[in-house]
Amino acid sequence: MPTAAKRDLPLIIAAGFVRAMTVGFIGVVLAVLLYRNGLNSIQIGFVIGAGLAGAAVATSLSARYVDRWGRRRSLALLSALAAVNVTTGNDENHDGLALDRPAGLPRNMMHGPSFIGLDVNLSHDFPLTKDGAKGSLLSLGLNSFNVLNHPNDTTYVGVVGSPFFGHAVEAESPRRMQLQAEIRF
């Protein structure tokens, strides 16, 4: 197994664990919410089963195509496809949630602008021993994120009655740079 893969393996396992716990938690909360809205156990099972099947299909497709498209490009594409629900900000159907949409308006109707990002990484390896590339190395790098310093808005207000309706209230980080030093032996 390559060194980079060994180094990243614990992080990948931890991320998978957190994702699995989150999916399980959402499944329980969703079941309770659906029960409160009058669905029986068979209907709840179908809804949760369809959600899990959809997640499995999406995961399979992303696993198959992400490396072909590039991980950063895939992440940018998925971020750009994120949609915003337009809501009234009221509890029209008295379910205890102020997330109701105006009549006749579909889900995920409002889309934000495109995501534009350019990250640059420059690095160089310096041998620390006479063995050259086979011995210990000092790797120095400069990583720059959002080099173009483009404002990439991420969260929009979708409440129709809000004075901030349609406006972004959160954005990705501005241009960032970091220095990196790594000793490999």
pLDDT digits (tens, 9 = 90+) for 146-171: 888 888 887 777 776 778 777 777 88
What pLDDT sits at residue 68? 76
Spatial neighbors of 43 by CB under 8 A, at least 6 apart, are 34
Query: pLDDT above 70 covers what percent of the chain?
Result: 75
Q: What is the mean pLDDT of the chain?
A: 77
What pLDDT sits at residue 75? 64
Residue with tokens 């989150």: 22
Phi/psi at 27 (5° precision):
-60, -40
Whether residue 177 is predicted with pLDDT greater than 90 in this model: the reply is yes
Cα gap 38→99, rounded to integer Å: 18
pLDDT digits (tens, 9 = 90+) for 73-106: 666 666 555 555 566 666 677 777 666 666 666 6
SS3 173: coil
pTM value is 0.39
